[in-house]
Amino acid sequence: MSFRLFPVEASSISAEVDQLLFFLLAVAAFFTVVIFAAILFFAIRYRRRSDNELPRPIHGSIPLEIVWSVIPFGLSMVMFTWGASVFFRERRPPDNALPIYVVAKQWMWKLQHPEGQREINELHIPVGRPVKLTMTSEDVIHSFFVPAFRTKQDVVPGRYTTTWFTAIKPGKYHLFCAEYCGNNHSGMGGWIYVMEPQDYEAWLSGGTPGATLAENGQKLFENLACANCHKSDGTGRCPDLTGLFGKDVKLADGSTVKADEGYIRESILRPEAKIVAGYQPSMPTFQGLVTEEGVLQLIEYVKSLGPNPGAGQAEGLAAPGSR
């Protein structure tokens, strides 16, 4: 049985979070020692020696009140600012991150690589490369938690949430579900395998995925007859999807929306929610006809259609292990 008092630091953010922790621990230890020592000292020094003692009243001190309000406030603002800056880095994935798609359900994690590999309760990733997770749930709220990476993100049905990390140390790390999700909540765990790039490449080519995520998406696109309306020459009843991903879309109500994963998912499942300017609300819903994993495949297919700065096709269909 192994036993430790501090978790391993296995992601690029781990050490940052731990430094922040040590700062807070130092502040907390300082105030705890001050308070405990003062109480102990006063309790002994001024212990009651006779039952008739009457100390002189002291009613307070404005300067002291200011000192012990302002100093803790200043320290707490340092905590806030430092904590917020770590959080911002934790929450904003770099553009070149390797996309992984996660669908959670009671009580398992289903993960898909862009190259088509699928995993259950296990995720293989290369060391040193940012990985971005796009996640949703088929039922209740779950939470993707990797203690060694110091990262956690709730996985919410009906929407996408994202998180990212760069593993810095090869190894095998716990994956937990951190949001209570029913009977087998504590069994909804797994492992993250962080591999050297060449091992990761070998792992990728070892499986036989058959088709990439985008290719699966294309098949689904054909099976569902999406192309009948979404014609690639722009003459269809519905908008052309070429080069759509990542662009701003003008809507019928005059507003604009960025065509990200969440927008595409909503347009497939609740097409009436946002109508593109110049088009009729003619698209039927595909709720119930396509699974969450299918929606993710369709999104990856839409991403692969045409140019998109940064991420997109080049990224999604990149050769395994390449940068």
91-120 footprint of another protein as x/- string (CB under 8 A): x--------------x--------------
Q: Is 42 in the site for another protein (CB under 8 A)?
A: yes
- Exactly one of 9, 10, 63, 76 binds another protein (CB under 8 A); that residue is 76
- When the beta carbons of 28 and 229 are compared against another protein, the nearer one is 28
Q: Is 272 in the site for another protein (CB under 8 A)?
A: no
Tokens matching residue 46: 């001024």
- Exactly one of 98, 104, 125, 148 binds another protein (CB under 8 A); that residue is 148
Q: Is 63 in the site for another protein (CB under 8 A)?
A: no
Q: Is 11 in the site for another protein (CB under 8 A)?
A: no
Q: Are 109 and 190 in contact (CB under 8 A)?
A: yes
**β-strand pairing of 142-146 with 171-177:** antiparallel
What residues have CB less than 8 Å from 302, skipping those under 6 apart?
Answer: 217, 241, 244, 245, 264
Determine the interface stretch with another protein among 66-74, 210-218, 248-256, 291-299 (rule: CB under 8 A).
66-74
Q: Is 74 in the site for another protein (CB under 8 A)?
A: no
- When the beta carbons of 140 and 249 are compared against another protein, the nearer one is 140
Determine the interface stretch with another protein among 25-33, 112-120, 125-133, 240-248 (rule: CB under 8 A).
25-33
Please give the Cα distance from 113 to 104 (Å, whole number): 15
- When the beta carbons of 60 and 254 are compared against another protein, the nearer one is 60
Burial of 120 (0-12, 13-18, 19+ CB in 10 A): exposed
Q: Is 282 in the site for another protein (CB under 8 A)?
A: no
Whole-number minimum distance, CB 108 to another protein, in Å?
15
Please give the Cα distance from 88 to 281 (Å, whole number): 38
For residue 238, CA distances in Å to 35, 271, 273, 283, 307 come to: 68, 11, 15, 8, 20
* Of the candidates 221, 234, 296, 237, the residue with the CA atom closest to the CA atom of residue 265: 296
Q: Is 314 in the site for another protein (CB under 8 A)?
A: no
Determine the interface stretch with another protein among 53-61, 97-105, 116-124, 297-305 (rule: CB under 8 A).
53-61
* Of the candidates 104, 121, 100, the residue with the CA atom closest to the CA atom of residue 112: 100
